[in-house]
Structure 1
């Protein structure tokens, strides 16, 4: 669907928005504004990563925004985010996206309807800032998830659900961190010295803040995973320690039972009237001796 948000006669520049465009609409726009076929191809790829590219007489930008209602186990770029392609010059701006993007309408209301922007650079700055802000709510949810998993790891000692949940948290954080890293060039180009102003500086500050948030989430997730495996390893070691202690107690007793269970004919102890109680006493003394030894070593 094609919408015209601004016209050059009224606002000084054209802004055309294409939502889930047809091939015919794309071709008409490409022909009207002399857009390169490579840019059109990138524009139509749903999983394309963020980029900043100067093509002939215009600048081609791809940004990604966090999807409004991702599935709980989403862990890929296409599942977690949506793409907005932007064709940009001082005379016009074209935004292309497959799904409805509320942030486009919000920017249009503030920048065009309220006359908050007088050029395309201002509109572009607002779109990119709004796209960055879409990653803020999920960062809060991911932080809450980490708090929940941390409590379960250290206190409730659950296993499979924790590991599965931590995996998806880590995947989401890593995907968004990757997108933010790839978006750095866009921020850097917009905040160049020749066109730098308070709005571009604010955009860079916003980017740095989001990057720090997800860097911190990534570090916390890695540390929590390491703690989980360390605790799991410690529990395994505790189980092995208990089994080892039991085996040490029973090894000498098993040896004694094995000796007197060989059934040789000439074994004088088998004819003793006190043979059985003496062997039982010997086994009790050995067990008590092993217990005292373990106690002195601090293993019990």
Structure 2
């Protein structure tokens, strides 16, 4: 579906926003606006990463914005983000995307109607800023999820599903952080020294903010995973310690029982009248002595 957001002579440029075009629309678009086939090929790839390149008489940009709805086990680039292709001419901008996108209407109401966009560079800068802002709400959700898992690890019983949830959470943080990092070149080109202004610097500030937030989330996530394995190791060591204590208690008792269970004919203690109670008393004394030793060492 082709939607004309801005057109001449009302604005100093033309903006065509195209949602989920079919093959015929793509072919017509390519021929009408002289788009290079390599640009269309890049846009058709569902997992294409952000890029900025000069192609002929236009600049081709692929930017990825965060998806509105993300599944609990989403951990790939296409699952977490949606792709927007931007063709920036001197007096024309074309945007391509698969899913419905609210940014064109928002920019039209808040920027175009106020006549704040003087050229296509300013318009594309607003589009990129709008894409970057889609990462703000997910960052808050990721922070909340990390706190949830941290609370469950320290204050509640560890469940088998906890590690699986940590894996997908870490993957979401890692993939999103990588997408933002790969968008660095686009922001740099938009805020180049020869045409830097207050609007492009705002976009750079937003990018730096998102980059710092997701770097922090990534570090927190790595620490959380390390804490999980440390706690698991500590609990395993605690179980081994308890089992070791039990084995130390029963080791000398088993030794004594083993000796008197051999049933040799000429064992002198076999005919002692008080042999059984003496052995039981000795075994009791050994148990008490071991217990006292452990208490003194602080192992109990």
Which category of TM-score, normalised to the shorter sequence, fits these structures?
over 0.9
Q: Within 2, Cα distance between the matches of 1:38 and 1:224?
A: 42
- Give yes or no for the alignment of 1:96 onto 2:113: no
- Give yes or no for the alignment of 1:117 onto 2:117: yes
Q: Within 1, Cα distance between the matches of 2:105 and 2:69?
A: 18
> Do the aligned partners of 1:5 and 1:112 also contact (CA within 8 Å) in 2?
no
Please, what TM-score do these two structures have when normalized by structure 2?
0.97
* 2:209 paired residue number: 209
What do residues 80-103 of structure 1 show as CA deviations (whole Å, max 9, x unaligned)? Answer: 111100000221100000111112
Q: Kindly report which structure 2 residues correspond to 1:56-71, keeping only aligned pairs within 5 A, or say none.
A: 56-71=56-71
Q: What is the aligned residue count?
A: 300
Note the residue ranges of structure 2 that are not aligned, 5 or more in a row. Answer: none
Q: Kindly report which structure 2 residues correspond to 1:6-155, keeping only aligned pairs within 5 A, or say none.
A: 6-155=6-155
Choose 154-163 or 258-267, whichever is displaced more. Answer: 154-163
Secondary structure of the 1:240 match is helix
Secondary structure of the 2:263 match is coil
Q: Within 1, Cα distance between the matches of 2:71 and 2:109?
A: 30
Q: Within 2, Cα distance between the matches of 1:33 and 1:76?
A: 33
Secondary structure of the 1:9 match is coil
Q: CA deviation at 1:9?
A: 2.5
> Do the aligned partners of 2:4 and 2:17 also contact (CA within 8 Å) in 1?
yes
> Do the aligned partners of 1:52 and 1:59 also contact (CA within 8 Å) in 2?
yes
> Do the aligned partners of 1:91 and 1:120 also contact (CA within 8 Å) in 2?
yes
Q: Within 2, Cα distance between the matches of 1:263 and 1:127?
A: 92
* 2:241 paired residue number: 241
Q: CA deviation at 1:196?
A: 0.1
Runs of 4+ displaced beyond 4 Å: none
What do residues 95-120 of structure 1 show as CA deviations (whole Å, max 9, x unaligned)? Answer: 00011111222112222233231211
Please, what TM-score do these two structures have when normalized by structure 1?
0.97
Q: Within 2, Cα distance between the matches of 1:135 and 1:232?
A: 33
Q: Within 2, Cα distance between the matches of 1:89 and 1:193?
A: 20
- Give yes or no for the alignment of 1:256 onto 2:256: yes
Q: CA deviation at 1:294?
A: 1.5
Q: CA deviation at 1:219?
A: 0.7
* 2:277 paired residue number: 277
> Do the aligned partners of 1:19 and 1:99 also contact (CA within 8 Å) in 2?
yes
Q: Within 2, Cα distance between the matches of 1:297 and 1:100?
A: 68
What do residues 106-146 of structure 1 show as CA deviations (whole Å, max 9, x unaligned)? Answer: 11222223323121111111111110110110111111111
> Do the aligned partners of 1:88 and 1:120 also contact (CA within 8 Å) in 2?
yes
Secondary structure of the 1:158 match is coil
The alignment yields a C-alpha RMSD, in angstroms, of 1.1
